[in-house]
Structure 1
Amino acid sequence: MYYDFMLNTGDQATLQILRMLNEEPTHRLERVIVAQRLGLTNYQLNKSLVTLNQDLAAVADETPSFIDESTKGTWVGHHITTLLTQRIYLLYLRRASLFPVFEFRAFYDHQDIKASVYAQEHFQTESTFYKNDRKLKKLLKANDFYSISGINQDPEFIVRLRLFQLYYTAFTGLDRPLPQLNDCSDQLVAALQQLFATPMAPTQKVKLETLIKIWLLRQQNQAVIKTPQLAANLHDATYQAVSDTVHRLLDDTLSVPAAEIDYLFSFLLTQGFLALPDVTSAQANFPLADQLTRQFIQQVDDKAVLTADTDLSATDLYNQLLAVNLQFTAFYVEPTTFISADQITFFKRLYPTFDLLIRDFLNTLKQTVHFKLGERMIVNLYFSYMFCLINTIPTTSIKDRVYIFVDFSEGQLYTNYVIKSLRAFSHAHIIIEKQLSAKTDIYISDFRSMAVNVPQIIWLDPPTAQDWSDLADVILAVKQTRLKKFFPNYDWSD
């Protein structure tokens, strides 16, 4: 969910311009195109350009970031990066007149803090504060703030999830959100980390810190989870250790009920901080995630895209799919990456049989789950399932694998160099043969051979970028031919 609606009107337009520039490979935009897309007048465009350059100067590193119009009608961005765009977004969020109202209603309106005092502390009059409050309520409703795609429709769960999405994506490691809780969250994160099997990556630490701060503030504001979420079989030694840690550190300041321990423990499980004890636990506590995982694996068998001797139980496919489906069904955090449908074509061409599986499963999923599936969620699930298959299914099990034999007259030294370079094409399910065989699909050499009846790639010099591109086209052509043979009734066109 994007929270641009909370920004000041002028900043919304300025941010859109910056995003458009950042998305353009050349960082060039025609003024007239910007005006048409955003519906801005020439005066508004000039004002946005001045504001944007001032703001870029405020957040840039040593290298200046700015936009100029040296050529009339063409805006050119200099040192415009994703990082700079994130910094600008956070700057605009912090200066948004609605943001203090949002934080007050989320964290403080049921504590001993008067709205009039809070408004004054944030440089707003009481009347302005209440006017912004009424505006915010309308915007939250209009932007479906209280409605999510997911199985858990508990109102408090939804609010916390939305809060988490905002603070985790807006601050993105640029700064620590809700700094008044830094000391408390640091203690909890450090203590909980002792229970994890592996050290946390930086992004995991930011994710856990953000969740804990929101979890604490919501409870302090009398907004609590009332219904326990986990069955008794998950109240194991690890669960008890998490509970003991929380009570040891918080009992002096906050009474944490069992349902809240369940909430925290569910987050740790679904986000991969802790592992489920066994498959039985997944079936008992997260039946939908387990069901979807088994349906996907059954579809892999039914579609027969793998060789007959493939043993899926010997792979880690179930566990990786379960991790995806746990997040999807239990604690789905709207992603900010791998959400562009434009990139799907790349994976479809490289992994056509995986694409077949995923597309058919997602179509089935739309008919079977009882909650709304947004377009970004569908795209993100596509990538997640794709990576599960890529990471767990060996190339030798793929029916559309391509066999390549490398044979250079310079001898084994150069042949081995090319073979090593070909490892970069492992994502295309390539198998390098040690000798020419009946399975050979592509022959790579510096001399054409009359004895070879398969496509031949001739490289007289070390391959250029164009040479690799041409090879990729041949590989894809071989795969397409094979796929039409294995699956004659499926549409393999782009």
Structure 2
Amino acid sequence: MYLKESYLFHFLEDSLVHPVTVRQFSKRYFISMSRAYELKSELESFLGLYHLEFKDGQIIGDEFSIRKLLFNIYYHFFNMIEAPVFEEEIKIDSKKMVNFVISYFNLKLTPTGEVKLKLFFEINYFRMKNNHQIEFYSSYDVIGDSEKIKHFNEACQIFINGVIKQPKLVSKKETQNLILFLGIENLIDSDFNSSQNKCVKSMADTFMDKVSKMYLETDQISDDLRGQLIQKMHTELIKINSRYLIHANYMTTQTEITFDTKYQTFHRCVTDFLFTNVETNHIQNEFQNFNQLYLEYMLLLINSIPLNYISRTIHVCVDISEGDLYNDYVIKMLTLQGESAIKFEKRLSSQTDVYISDVVMSHLKCRQILLGKLPEDQDWQILKAQILEQ
């Protein structure tokens, strides 16, 4: 309930409806002018995270970013306690639109999916009703019967034009915004590969070239399966990039996450690619949540590429000077840390990749890991991670 009682939230919400000066806000909520100016400063800092400004008593900036901000606030805060409060007219008309979309596309929504769709309509209706229009125009096409899609476009535009009293061009843009949202949320099948946004497509093309060379050019995968994987991953990448590069993402909830060591090669691939291409394409300001973008790239690779495509057997020689009793213990403890493509040996060979010992061997060409003493319980995972490092 803290959010609803927060002066900062009231300042934000009030300025989204009508311009509100510091003096007006101070009088409205019976607080001092100095406190009101402090809140204004806090609001400006908060809005900066979304590349928005507070100017002349109202929030100024990209309309997509404003709607995204509203979505995150209402979905991730209010839905923890209660539904956000909109005018009854907005709630009724938004519900009609939700029902129309569900019926038209025969959607089988999860409870969270229905909440998101309803909130999407309410926020967009709320902004349109207060004469705030999106400037972005989507060029994405929807797979299916062209007549059916044409009818859906027309029906949505008629609804927006008739109920919310918006001009034809605005209705058209808002309808395309809806189709984009439905596609990105995987509520309808969308041909995202037809994207005409150069940055979105070039990022997907470049990343898939990198992934194909690193992981898919292997005898373990047939040409047909390779082609299917590339097409499927490319389509998903277009969706991911669309959410972040054109400000269409309404969900930015995940914080930083650490993946298992067996996915370190994916981690390096994704981080190297993102940092390189963000700088190259001069799109740093377009990423409002870099951790979220990294996370979705990682999940795409993990879900799409089997580990046996990326892993080769690592030959590890364990040679502790005290003898086999110690060698067997080290091998057993490392084996207990989970499955991996590690083959343990007690003798050096031409295939040895890693040599583990308590003595440094300067003449060896393979990588060496020195054990000054037997690892503690909490150190075995660290040792295994060292072995898996490439």
TM-score interval, normalised by the smaller of the two chains: 0.5 to 0.7
Listed as ranges, the matches of 1:93-492 within 5 Å are 93-107=3-17, 109=18, 125-126=27-28, 128=30, 131=33, 136-145=39-48, 147-148=50-51, 155-180=62-87, 181-196=90-105, 198-225=107-134, 227=135, 229-231=137-139, 236-237=146-147, 239-247=149-157, 249=159, 252-256=162-166, 257-277=171-191, 279=193, 281-282=194-195, 284=196, 286-302=197-213, 304-306=214-216, 308-309=218-219, 310=221, 311=223, 312-315=226-229, 316-330=232-246, 331-333=248-250, 335-337=252-254, 339-340=255-256, 343-344=257-258, 346-347=259-260, 349-372=261-284, 377-400=289-312, 441=343, 479-480=388-389, 483=390
Structure 1-normalised TM-score? 0.54
- CA distance in 1: counterparts of 2:42 and 2:126, whole angstroms: 23
- CA distance in 1: counterparts of 2:289 and 2:237, whole angstroms: 15
- CA distance in 1: counterparts of 2:290 and 2:274, whole angstroms: 7
The one-letter code of the counterpart of 2:10 is P
Q: Deviations over 1:283-323 (max 9, x none)?
A: x2x33222111111111234x34552345422132222222
Please say if residues 228 and 259 of structure 1, whose CA atoms lie closer than 8 Å, have aligned partners that are also in contact: yes
Q: 1:250 to 1:379 in 2, by over 3 A?
A: closer
Q: Deviations over 1:5-32 (max 9, x none)?
A: xxxxxxxxxxxxxxxxxxxxxxxxxxxx
Structure 2-normalised TM-score? 0.66
Aligned length: 320
What displacement does 1:397 show? 1.7
Please say if residues 67 and 124 of structure 2, whose CA atoms lie closer than 8 Å, have aligned partners that are also in contact: yes
What's the secondary structure of 1:144's corresponding residue?
A: helix
The one-letter code of the counterpart of 2:126 is L
Please say if residues 192 and 245 of structure 1, whose CA atoms lie closer than 8 Å, have aligned partners that are also in contact: no
Please say if residues 220 and 254 of structure 1, whose CA atoms lie closer than 8 Å, have aligned partners that are also in contact: yes
What's the secondary structure of 1:172's corresponding residue?
A: helix
Equivalent in the alignment of 2:327: none
Q: 1:191 to 1:274 in 2, by over 3 A?
A: same
The one-letter code of the counterpart of 1:324 is I
Equivalent in the alignment of 1:77: none
Listed as ranges, the matches of 1:41-120 within 5 Å are 91-107=1-17, 109=18
What displacement does 1:390 show? 0.9
Equivalent in the alignment of 2:331: none
The one-letter code of the counterpart of 1:222 is N
| Unpaired runs of at least 5, structure 2 | 53-59, 316-334, 346-350, 355-376
Q: Deviations over 1:308-346 (max 9, x none)?
A: 234542213222222211212121346222x22xx32x3
> How many percent of aligned residue pairs carry the same amino acid?
20
- CA distance in 2: counterparts of 1:163 and 1:376, whole angstroms: 14
TM-align CA RMSD:
4.3
What displacement does 1:182 show? 3.0
| Unpaired runs of at least 5, structure 1 | 1-90, 404-421, 432-439, 444-452, 456-467, 484-494
Q: Deviations over 1:184-218 (max 9, x none)?
A: 22222122123447522232222222221111111
The one-letter code of the counterpart of 2:118 is E
Q: 1:191 to 1:402 in 2, by over 3 A?
A: farther
- CA distance in 2: counterparts of 1:103 and 1:158, whole angstroms: 15
- CA distance in 2: counterparts of 1:375 and 1:392, whole angstroms: 24
Q: Deviations over 1:152-173 (max 9, x none)?
A: x963222222222221221235
Q: 1:334 to 1:198 in 2, by over 3 A?
A: closer
